[in-house]
Structure 1
């Protein structure tokens, strides 16, 4: 039950309809209450006017009888008017408050005290009011005999016909009011009509409320909820990375514009996602396909990710420490290029040695690169290891071969010189050359080979060396001045990357 209520409260239709319905209900029923109240006041005013009209009619009917002082006629007229359906009583009083005539026989002859509401209509002020207004003349509006009775008093004014051209009447011309006409009027029929009007007004208000409410619900459902549901379905399709096809709502209003914007935004997002997917696949292929070992390590030196080449060569898994995977160590290397990257935020390159999972020794050139998050914080480092094991093996082989040839070069019994091809300066020589010529090696370095010849024909000797011609029985001089004959063979060669003669 609670989930159902929460679901209803969360719906847009309910959030819109309930407040609008409350305002609509309040407005309609306030209007109905105001309208019924106005109609009640209008009906009451008309009823008072009608009672006053009846009173005027009674006075007109009594006028001639009172001029003649025909008491029987007066009594008959009052009784006849008292038989009207709505009239409950009619009394005619003189100025002293004595009931002269009444529609009921039991009231005639009685006296009304001046303190009674009937007399207070005129005598409530120090100076009696001669002509009170219609509202002031209603002196009683209460229940009587089980029904609502309205009592209205009308003054009977002294007329010219009462005191002119006659000697029989005892009222003087100075008297303004001769008496009062008191009428009691039943409101039963009027209240019945008003009650019926109230009931119909309530029915009308309910019909208006429910009709307007239903129309509002239908409009909201048709113009808001249904289009929004379509837009939501469109958004779900977009969230799955699928193209939604045509626009969900094709209208020119705000919801149509919203649908158009969502459709365009979703299409753009799908295109961007496709491009990102292509780039992601490209980067993944590059990451997996590069011929070097690539790992991503966190600040705790644990492996976050690695490529296929690394997985094939090491028995490691995600979460292992890099130093354990590479070198089977229990603590970080010193120095560590990854640690330097975390410290400086820059790339570093070193040469490292370790072993693969098969136990074979390996050598790598290690290059690190920082990895930042979306806020620019350094969170990881990428380590790329290029295998240089073969190169290292070749370097070792080359060094061994070089040592072998150096041993041959130094121990061969013939003197061997390495000469500059331009000025024939000695660049290197073997031990036999040192023994034969009697010079220390540092004395020979830089000395021209042509200086060893006893003859001065250097041009011929230099040309023979350049062309590789054999020089037989050439006389040369040792350091101690001793002369000896040598045979010379020359050939072009390379020494430390430079062209030379041997």
Structure 2
């Protein structure tokens, strides 16, 4: 049980009851006092009236000086209930009349209580207020007595022949009567008792009501709230607080219930975070320890326990490295000294004697006062990383050696400026320029000045740049194939550029191409001879005609002579064109790509070859597109490709007709050009013997041929393939054995090739 002083109900009852008791008591006191005053005033008024009545009743007898009548009146009045004594005093204090005959004619002390009211001064007072003429005193029976003195004044009617009182005498005597207040005091006591009983009754009733109210409305809900708060303190997630009130206590209960749920949710979250932290601490894949100032292990995670199996109270240096004293450069010691985190790398043998490497990070742990009481040390075993670093160093050294000794020049270029950041030793052997000199220059300096802007774009846009011209030492010109790939160097974007010196290869190719041209010229010899024989025959006939006329002495008419001269001049020009064409076709120039019209080159190739086709009754069908855009090509070499394909078409047709003439089908070569997907397409088809399927994939290989021995070298298609590739185009073949073959060449347009 809770003591009254510790109980809210008891405190409220004591407080409210005390206030109520004091209030009712004060009310009762003032009520009794007011009632007593009222009774006293009423008694005084009645006493004053009684004294007046006595004076009036005895006035006539006194006027007649009838003592018997006065005595009888005094006796009758004094015999009434409650009147203790009734006296009439004269001026000298002698009792002249009394309801007690024994005291008649006795003299009282003029200074006693009854007379002192008037005789306290000289001369005695004449007029006094009623309150001054009243006295209260206690009788022998314990009850109070009320005494009133009423002066008997010398009235005008009292002066005359029958009385001896002179007029100047104002007071003749006094009437003194004493009334018992036993009844009045009894009523007052009864009233006081009733008020006390009423006060006690009201106090008990109100206190009981307060108690019941407090128990029902306050104490019981509070105890329920206390029970609920204790459940919350124990971690109860949903405390059942049974308070069904729609007042502040009910609101408080609802708030506590909500608070309990919120606290339970927060506690659950804290528990989850704690469990998560403990789980993370235990399972984090690195070593974590907590150490005191003596480097003793206070706590450690699972990784540390599994790796080092420490003993209880073990020291960190002993558990880590089996040492008997702390490490010389201990980061934990630095953390305790500076109150800050520290990081370091440490190496040393582990408990098994194996050399290990750790990345150590320490952090201070403080208490509520901010004092460092422990240090957390996290160690990450970086032994594998260290081994990888050693292997990487070896690998870098190895690849640096490879980089330096690659036979082809390798350049590392800045991604933006194309300046040479690094290069290998091969650049000096190929270019004849020292590595130190190249390191302070731009890669574009290796190109001819007029080509640097174009190659600056191509280096960023193409992976391979073929047949580029570089300027080596002493103005020497070399042809290179450039391969470009993006990379990183020192954490920055760079271009990794490899160059291959193809100068000798191109010279060899030139020889093969020239040999192919000579072979082609040999194949064209009969047609060329016939082409030249026709103008020579015309010239011979014209000169013979003139010589014959001159020998016979005949004049040649000027008009005829002019016609013969014009005919001879035209055929000389034709022979000159054929010879110049053969000379241009057979010369050995460097390949220079420039805009060229594929239709014109195709017609030129057919000009020196058409006579052979006519002799063999081979029809040439043209399907050439008009307004064909120019292509980027070397016109001479592209003509060589067309001539090689025409020769192959001629031979294939001859081979088929020699084996078995197909009947009414005529010999035919179809030449077609068109624009397709941004490129110019040249298609050359024949209806010859075709190519067997088994050898289709090998026709572009050097020295491979399907012709009979002595009929071909196998270089024509191989050289043609290389020429087309060098021009950035492609060549494809489609053949059906016994029905014919079609070669399709695609070349980039001139504006695309320059882009």
TM-score by length of structure 2 reads: 0.49
1:78 and 1:124 map into 2 onto residues whose CA distance is 27
Q: Secondary structure at the match of 1:363?
A: strand
Partner of 2:84: 88
2:291 and 2:349 map into 1 onto residues whose CA distance is 18
CA apart distance, 1:38: 3.2
Specify every segment of 5 or more residues in structure 2 that has no aligned partner in the other structure, as ranges: 412-424, 433-477, 480-499, 506-755
Partner of 1:355: 350
Alignment of 1:41 with 2:34, yes or no, is: no
User: Are 1:303 and 1:322, in contact at CA under 8 Å, matched by a contact in 2?
Assistant: yes
User: Are 1:424 and 1:449, in contact at CA under 8 Å, matched by a contact in 2?
Assistant: no
Alignment of 1:186 with 2:180, yes or no, is: yes
Partner of 1:314: 308
User: Are 1:117 and 1:140, in contact at CA under 8 Å, matched by a contact in 2?
Assistant: no
1:311 and 1:304 map into 2 onto residues whose CA distance is 12
CA apart distance, 1:323: 0.9
User: Which of 111, 131, 134 is matched with 1:135 structurally?
Assistant: 131
User: Which of 362, 366, 369 is matched with 2:359 structurally?
Assistant: 366
2:142 and 2:393 map into 1 onto residues whose CA distance is 136
**Cα deviation per residue 1:63-104 (whole Å; 9 max; x = unaligned)?**
232233322222111111121121122112222322222111
Task: State the number of aligned residues.
Answer: 422
2:321 and 2:106 map into 1 onto residues whose CA distance is 133
1:319 and 1:9 map into 2 onto residues whose CA distance is 53
Q: Secondary structure at the match of 1:316?
A: coil
1:400 and 1:92 map into 2 onto residues whose CA distance is 151
Partner of 1:244: 238
List aligned pairs for 1:156-171, cutoff 5 A: 156-163=152-159, 167-171=161-165
List aligned pairs for 1:388-403, cutoff 5 A: 388=382
Quickly say closer, same or farther: Cα 1:417–1:215, change in 2 above 3 A.
closer
User: Are 2:406 and 2:426, in contact at CA under 8 Å, matched by a contact in 1?
Assistant: no
1:14 and 1:324 map into 2 onto residues whose CA distance is 67
User: Are 1:367 and 1:385, in contact at CA under 8 Å, matched by a contact in 2?
Assistant: yes
RMSD: 3.9
Partner of 2:67: 71
Quickly say closer, same or farther: Cα 1:53–1:318, change in 2 above 3 A.
farther
Alignment of 1:176 with 2:162, yes or no, is: no
Q: Secondary structure at the match of 1:348?
A: strand
User: Which of 403, 417, 420 is matched with 2:406 structurally?
Assistant: 420
1:85 and 1:263 map into 2 onto residues whose CA distance is 77
**Cα deviation per residue 1:453-478 (whole Å; 9 max; x = unaligned)?**
xxxxx99xx979x99xxxxxxxxxxx
Quickly say closer, same or farther: Cα 1:10–1:353, change in 2 above 3 A.
farther
2:410 and 2:118 map into 1 onto residues whose CA distance is 158
Q: Secondary structure at the match of 1:304?
A: strand
User: Which of 215, 219, 230 is matched with 1:221 structurally?
Assistant: 215
Partner of 1:120: 116
CA apart distance, 1:195: 1.8
1:8 and 1:93 map into 2 onto residues whose CA distance is 67
**Cα deviation per residue 1:168-199 (whole Å; 9 max; x = unaligned)?**
34344444333211112212222222222222
Quickly say closer, same or farther: Cα 1:362–1:212, change in 2 above 3 A.
farther
Quickly say closer, same or farther: Cα 1:447–1:138, change in 2 above 3 A.
closer
CA apart distance, 1:376: 5.1
2:287 and 2:110 map into 1 onto residues whose CA distance is 123
2:42 and 2:178 map into 1 onto residues whose CA distance is 16
**Cα deviation per residue 1:332-387 (whole Å; 9 max; x = unaligned)?**
1111232233344124031333334xx36352423223144456554433323334
Partner of 1:211: 205
1:157 and 1:399 map into 2 onto residues whose CA distance is 147
Partner of 1:12: 8
1:278 and 1:120 map into 2 onto residues whose CA distance is 99
1:392 and 1:253 map into 2 onto residues whose CA distance is 73
CA apart distance, 1:417: 13
2:387 and 2:99 map into 1 onto residues whose CA distance is 145
Specify every segment of 5 or more residues in structure 1 that has no aligned partner in the other structure, as ranges: 406-415, 426-444, 452-457, 468-502
Q: Secondary structure at the match of 2:81?
A: coil
Q: Mean Cα displacement is larger for which, 220-229 or 130-139?
A: 220-229
CA apart distance, 1:228: 2.2
User: Are 1:371 and 1:381, in contact at CA under 8 Å, matched by a contact in 2?
Assistant: yes
Partner of 1:326: 320
Partner of 1:150: 146
Alignment of 1:262 with 2:262, yes or no, is: no
Greater relative contact order, per chain length (Cα 8 Å cut-off, separation 6+): 1
TM-score by length of structure 1 reads: 0.72
**Cα deviation per residue 1:221-258 (whole Å; 9 max; x = unaligned)?**
33432332222222222223333367765656544444
**Cα deviation per residue 1:432-489 (whole Å; 9 max; x = unaligned)?**
xxxxxxxxxxxxx9996789xxxxxx99xx979x99xxxxxxxxxxxxxxxxxxxxxx
